[in-house]
Copies of this chain bind each other. A is one copy, B any other.
Amino acid sequence: MSGFVSFVGSGPGDPELLTLKAVDRLKAADAVLFDDLSSGPILGHTKPGADLVGVGKRAGRPSPKQSHVSQLLVEYASTGARVVRLKSGDGGMFGRLEEELLALKAAGIPYEIIPGIPSACAAAAAAGIPLTRRLTARRVQFVTGHGVDGQLPADLNLPALADAQATTVVFMGKRTFPRLADALMANGLPGTTPALLAEEISRPEQSLTRSTVAELARSLRAAPSGTAALILYGALAAEGGGDA
């Protein structure tokens, strides 16, 4: 008796940014395995008696082993349950989706993938800016600032990331941004490039701080903190009002 797993992107946290399909799957689920950022009111869509299992990996805390999450997924589905694996943002970006897909494939368990609102799109919307602009920002790129060991990955494509003509969003990179900023500036990105620090996106505590690459690196070096955040840099980071 085989169950079914729906990988569901929960969006950035605001329950109103769930898709209709996500709500449908949550309502039908016998079990929900969720990340830290996809909890709270989002789980209010589940039915009474559903198993709600937190498997979050907060930055700075020891992570539950990924293999343990994959094993839990397989175990729940093997009982015939309808399982939702809720991942914050869009599960396909920096969500370690592939490792869980492979475990299900190996176990012969059917699944589907439902995309979610990427936190980068929600951050830009909250700041009142687009991620692209005709003629001057034709490329947008997303990168992780958090390697397997928690440090800045050593093999980033720095010339690509140091392009002031692109909009760049750094995921999970607040702690390592001072080092990244040094490397970007060494590769030609002006320190005066506008930067936006977006914290607790789409939540009541949301905070948007406009700065520059050099200034933001300085302030994060002086006052490191562990809250979830995105850093966006490029010309568009200076625009918008944040009050839109």
Contacts and interface: CB of A to CB of B under 8 A. Distances in A.
A9 B117 CA distance: 10
Interface stretch (A47-55, A88-96, A176-184): A88-96
Interface in A198-218: none
Interface in A137-159: 138-144, 148, 153, 155-157, 159
A124 interface: yes
Contacts of A112: 244
A16 B156 CA distance: 36
A144 B132 contact: yes
B160 A130 contact: no
Contact of A148 (B97, B131, B134, B141): B134
Interface of A: 9, 11, 14-21, 23-24, 90-99, 101, 111-118, 121-122, 124-126, 128-135, 138-144, 148, 153, 155-157, 159-161, 163, 165-166, 239-240, 244
A114 B244 CA distance: 10
Copies in the complex: 2
B144 A141 contact: no
A163 B159 CA distance: 11
A11 to B, nearest CB: 7
27 contacts: A17-B19, A18-B20, A19-B117, A92-B124, A93-B121, A93-B131, A93-B140, A98-B133, A98-B239, A99-B134, A101-B128, A101-B130, A111-B244, A113-B126, A113-B128, A115-B117, A115-B122, A115-B125, A116-B117, A117-B117, A140-B141, A141-B166, A155-B165, A157-B166, A160-B160, A160-B163, A160-B166
